[in-house]
Amino acid sequence: MEIEFVLPGRVDVGLVLRPVRRGNADPTFQTDDRGLWYVTTTPEGAATMRLRYEFQGGDTQVACQFWGPGAQQAAGRVDGLVGGRDDTTGFQELLGLLREAPLPPEQAQLVSFVVQSWPKQGWRVPRSHNVWEATLAAVLEQKVTGKESKGAWRALAHEYGDQAPGPAPEGMKAPPTMAQVRVVPSWKWRSLAVDRPRSDALMRLVRTPELLSRLPELSAAEARRQFTAIPGIGDWTYAEVAQRALGDADAVSFGDYHLARLVIFTLTGRRDGTDEELAELLEPFRGQRYRAVRMFELHGAKPERRGPRMSVPAHRYGQS
């Protein structure tokens, strides 16, 4: 199955999909000099996508090929996945208003950074509709190092995910489905350094397919309320899912180990930023706060590391 479409403006599809990739060795995602490969799941089965894009005449031409039992559903989602359903009009209007607004110095500095950064990139908020896939990755990432979470994601895909359909590069796999995660034994979670609270949360989630399937149709406030009512799912996890699957332009990952520090360091040079400070600084962008934060993730000043990286702890099953 093949489709082509045009995204208005210069949209960097690789940049839009960067948060979907879980490390350079992610078996569900590969890039090459002609575009990217992405393997996903749908209610009909796995689908392999081959995406190519190029800038022509001020717009972005996207060509997509699909293979597998989920090809038709993946094709129906692909424009949202690459940011085609993301309307930036309101954000651009807000930037215009905030340029002239009387704001406290640090808020004004943040606004200035976002105003200057926004034209530099072709990023949009993706809307994949695949809540389960984003949720599985987010729960694996709760309160652990990136090395641990990416390793668990790779191992689960390799051992439990379906083979990538079609002519995908060797070694590509689909993320495991709810049914496939349901049968992961307790000892396997321990071997993957996934502690009891996270594996328990995943076991609760695989019993809520109806809720996860309807989240994309709910308002952002209602999606957050229903999703975070599941034990083990908090605001950070909701934000991580909403940024990838729901197209929520206001979902900020408060509680993230690095985010507040990154924003505050970029603005002030301080290394001790807090979520409370970040929330106050972002208030002028309410409704569009994730867009503002993403400019810092893409263009912010990364503080130099002091000391060794965080070590991977030796997990004991049943302990957090």
Q: Is residue 46 part of a domain?
A: yes
Q: Is residue 140 part of a domain?
A: no
**pLDDT at 10 exceeding the cut of 80:** yes
Q: Is residue 117 part of a domain?
A: no
Instruction: Taking residues 302-318, report their average pLDDT.
Output: 52
Q: Is residue 200 part of a domain?
A: no
Q: Which domain holds residue 32?
A: 2-81
pLDDT of residue 306: 55
Q: Is residue 12 part of a domain?
A: yes
**Nearest C-alpha neighbor of 161 from the set 69, 16, 40, 299:** 40
Count of structural domains, the chain = 1
- Mean pLDDT is lowest, of 84-88, 196-200, 302-306, for 302-306
Prediction pTM value: 0.93
* Distance, CA of 220 to CA of 242 (rounded, Å): 8
pLDDT of residue 313: 52
104 residue type, one letter: P
Q: Is residue 40 part of a domain?
A: yes
pLDDT 10s digits, 254-303: 999 899 999 999 999 999 999 999 999 999 999 999 999 999 999 999 87
**How distant, in Å, are the alpha carbons of 17, 65, 272 from that of 33?**
16, 16, 40
Let me know: does 184 contact 136? Beta carbons within 8 Å. Answer: no
Positive or negative torsion for Cα 175, 167, 48, 146: positive
pLDDT of residue 50: 98
**pLDDT at 174 exceeding the cut of 60:** yes
**How distant, in Å, are the alpha carbons of 170, 181, 232, 307 from that of 203?**
30, 8, 10, 37
pLDDT of residue 320: 34
| Interior/surface letters 132-171, b for 16+ CB within 10 angstroms, e for the rest | bbbbbbbbbbbebbeebbbbbbbbbbeebbbebbbebeee
Residue 34 CB-density burial (10 A; 0-12 exposed, 13-18 middle, 19+ buried):
exposed
pLDDT of residue 305: 62
Let me know: does 134 contact 240? Beta carbons within 8 Å. Answer: yes
Distance of CA 142 to the CA centre of its chain: 14
If one compares 304 and 194, the residue with the highest pLDDT of the two is 194
Q: Is residue 28 part of a domain?
A: yes
pLDDT of residue 283: 97
Provide φ and ψ at 48, rounded to 5°: -100, 130
* Distance, CA of 320 to CA of 309 (rounded, Å): 20
At a CB cut-off of 8 Å and minimum separation 6, what does 285 contact? 94, 98, 114, 291, 292
Q: Is residue 144 part of a domain?
A: no
pLDDT of residue 191: 95
